[in-house]
Amino acid sequence: MTITITAFDRSPDGGKGLARDVRVRWALEEAGLPYDVRLVSFQAMKEPAHLALHPFGQIPTYEEGDLTLFETGAIVLHIGHRHPGLLPDDANARSRAVSWMFAAVNTLEPPILELTMARLFERDQPGYATRLPTLEARVRTRLHQLSERLGDADWLDGAFSAGDLMMVHVLLRLRSTGLLDELPRVAAYVARGEARPAYRRAFAAQLAVNTRPPAAN
């Protein structure tokens, strides 16, 4: 059955690979599944046709026959439940991998996004100088805790899993802040994720979309 995902027609990051479709591309590459991509403009994302797929007007979405999914965590988990390569076989280990998936999007990503968004959009606003150290401290706390848990292991819980996939991609948002470099174990963990052939194919695919020449009219 053909799998179709949506992605930004032009990602705001210009091809740095931070948009969430990369998580789904990466998961599909780990599972060895071919997929089609439908590119969606910012305007089209807010129109009824796309809102029928994604109630919050975002990307990515996932279509496979009758099924439509949204939220990268749910899409990655769906793929992982149906194909090898993303989740352990053991039932308990599988539940633990899901803990790391939720930790990535609910415990790490919110303070990371708040920091990176403030750096982008609040520099000229009153209170920025007060807020920045607070936002950085919150992220540092989480990175230290992650580093402690990781220790000398390659991945968060045994073999690479969807938990690592989600965590590594959330952490990539920090590259421009320099905070990753303060934690060598976390930086090495992110680098291991980026070195995976499946990630490299996913990254290259989004780069090709986001650096293509403008369409001739």
Query: Binding to its own copies by residue 116, rule CB under 8 A?
Result: no
Among left, alpha and beta (phi > 0; psi -120 to 50; other), residue 213 is beta
Query: Binding to its own copies by residue 125, rule CB under 8 A?
Result: yes
User: Rounded to the nearest 5°, which phi and psi values hold at 3?
Assistant: -105, 130
Q: Which of 9, 13, 33, 57 binds its own copies (CB under 8 A)?
A: 57
Amino acid identity for residue 183 in this structure: L
Query: Binding to its own copies by residue 55, rule CB under 8 A?
Result: yes
Query: Binding to its own copies by residue 110, rule CB under 8 A?
Result: yes
Query: Binding to its own copies by residue 74, rule CB under 8 A?
Result: yes
Query: Binding to its own copies by residue 130, rule CB under 8 A?
Result: yes
| Residues 61 and 90 sit within 8 Å (Cβ to Cβ) | no
Whichever of 162 and 205 has its CB closer to its own copies, that residue is: 162
Query: Binding to its own copies by residue 107, rule CB under 8 A?
Result: yes
Helical spans, DSSP H, in the chain: 21-30, 42-45, 48-51, 72-82, 91-102, 109-121, 128-150, 162-172, 184-195, 197-210
Query: Binding to its own copies by residue 115, rule CB under 8 A?
Result: no
Distances (CA, A) of 120 to 12, 33, 117, 137, 171: 12, 35, 5, 18, 17
Query: Binding to its own copies by residue 127, rule CB under 8 A?
Result: yes
Query: Binding to its own copies by residue 153, rule CB under 8 A?
Result: no
Tokens of 170: 């959330």
Convert residues 21-40 into a mask of x (bound to its own copies by CB under 8 A) and - (unbound): --------------------
Tokens of 164: 């690592």
Q: Which of 41, 47, 149, 200 binds its own copies (CB under 8 A)?
A: 149
How many residues touch its own copies (CB under 8 A)?
44
Query: Binding to its own copies by residue 106, rule CB under 8 A?
Result: yes
Shortest Å distance, C-beta 200 to its own copies: 26
Q: Give the integer Cα–Cα distance in Å for 199 and 165.
A: 9
User: Rounded to the nearest 5°, which phi and psi values hold at 63?
Assistant: -120, 135
Whichever of 75 and 165 has its CB closer to its own copies, that residue is: 75
Q: Give the integer Cα–Cα distance in Å for 38 and 66.
A: 17
Which spans of this chain sit near its own copies (rule: CB under 8 A)?
A: 51, 55-58, 66-75, 77-78, 81, 92, 95-96, 98-99, 101-103, 105-107, 109-110, 113-114, 125-128, 130-131, 142, 145-146, 148-149
